[in-house]
Structures are given as C-alpha cells and as structure tokens.
Structure 1
Amino acid sequence: MWFLYVLRCADDTLYTGVTTDRARRLAEHNAGRGSRYTAGRRPVSMIGSWSFADRAEAQAAEAHFRRQSRAQKLAIVADRLPFLGSPFHYPD
C-alpha cells in the first residue's frame, strides 16, 4: 500500500509526498534526510494522508494534489475529505 501524505513545515508551508511507511518517512524529514525542501523547514508534522493500491496511483494523486491551491489543500485536510476515491487517514 502506498500513501500520499501532506506535511506542515515549521514556516507554515505545506509539503506533499508519497511513501509506503508514513512513520519512517516523517522521521526522515525531521532528521533532515527527507528532502532538501523540508530539511530547512523543520520540524514538520504530518497533517493527513490517503492510501492507494500502488505507487503509480499515489504519484498521480500527488501530482493532482499539488495542482490545488493552498486553500483547497487545507480544506481537503481540515474536512478530512476523500481524495481521488481514497479515504482520508488521520496521521498516526
């Protein structure tokens, strides 16, 4: 199972990615190994995720999610809405 996830960075920006292990990926981001973007914006917290059957679906969902405005992204997360047919998963 693959997950599309959304992080809130220390500077209040949002970061979106895909992973098979949300806890491991969050730890990597907070250790400065997750991405160049989040390395300078720590700490980060996971504010939502959605599950997908495979990597291709998760990456397609990520591309679609990134095209949303910041306000739309925050509304999807705040309302815990399904995204592209996938149910919202509150962060563990």
Structure 2
Amino acid sequence: MKGFLYILECSDGSYYTGSTKELELRLAQHQAGEGANHTKKRLPVKLVYYEEFSRIDEAFYREKQVQGWSRKKKEALIGNRPEDLPLLSKNHTQYPKDFMISMKDEVPEPSVSEPSVPEPSVPEPSAPEPSVPEPSVPEPVEGTTNKIQNNLKELRYEKQ
C-alpha cells in the first residue's frame, strides 16, 4: 500500500510534516480542523511539498527524518534545492558565510565588535629552585617484606 510524506504551511508560516496513505483525504481533514492539533489552531493550511512511496512505512520513516530538520533545511527541500541539504545538515554555526547570504532570508551581520586581544605576557625569569637533597631510604632488610620501605622505593623509582 502506497504512502505519502507531506509538508503543510500553516497560516502563521509554520510547517507541519506528516505522512498518510491517502493524501487528498488527509488534506481535507486538516482543512476541516480534523487534523493534528498543530494545524487545527493554524488554519488554513497549504500543501507545499509531498513525496510518494510504495509503502506507508517508508513514508512514515521519511516523515520522522524530515520532522527533525531545521526550518531552513525544510525550505531547501520545498524549494527543490537538493544541493543545499548537505550544508544544512550541519549545526547553524557551521554554515559557510557565503551560503547563509545566498539563502532567501537575509541574515543580518552581527553588530558585535571584535574583542581586543591582549598582548601575550612574557613570563619573567625566575630564580632556579633550590635543590633539596632527596631523603635516603634504607634498603629493606634481606628476607623481610617491609611495605613502607617498598612503597618508598617505588616512589623514588617513579620520580626518576
């Protein structure tokens, strides 16, 4: 049984993404206020995009995929700009500047001035640290296991 993924534009400009077996019937339901709560409160709605699938589960999978997309990425899909989709998959802070300017919506330039970078400070030469002689640790007595002496010996070995 075939299925459809569809995107509606609501009266407030928001998008609603859904899937159905019968696209025309589902659109009529949305327009009559019998659809999802999102569209019910934002009538009238307009079909702006749809895809047809051979099975409803494929349409449902695609619906869930598209629902997770940003508004700009949905607009690239609606506007038939598949070449923009990979770029819009990135976090919005990773968009190339020239790409953002080429988008339909104007992106205002940030009004934040460049932060001043302080000059790197050069560390003042410091006096050499006084050498402190290492305490001598007596060797363990042969034939006995002295945990404290063994631990001190290990510490001294790790320091070297």
Q: TM-score range by the shorter chain?
A: 0.7 to 0.9
TM-score (norm 1): 0.83
More strand per residue: 1 or 2? Answer: 1
Task: Assess, with a 3 A threshold, how the Cα gap between structure 1 residues 42 and 69 changes in structure 2: closer, same or farther.
Answer: same
Indicate the residue corresponding to 2:38 in structure 1.
37
What is the distance in 2 between the residues matched to 1:79 and 1:52? 18
State percent identity of aligned pairs: 37
Moved more, 46-55 or 8-17: 46-55
* 1:23 counterpart = 2:27: no
Task: Assess, with a 3 A threshold, how the Cα gap between structure 1 residues 60 and 77 changes in structure 2: closer, same or farther.
Answer: same
What is the distance in 2 between the residues matched to 1:19 and 1:59? 8
Structural mapping, 1:36-75, within 5 Å: 36-75=37-76
> Which of structures 1 and 2 has the bigger CA Rg?
2
What is the distance in 2 between the residues matched to 1:80 and 1:41? 27
Structure 2: runs of 5+ lacking an equivalent:
83-160
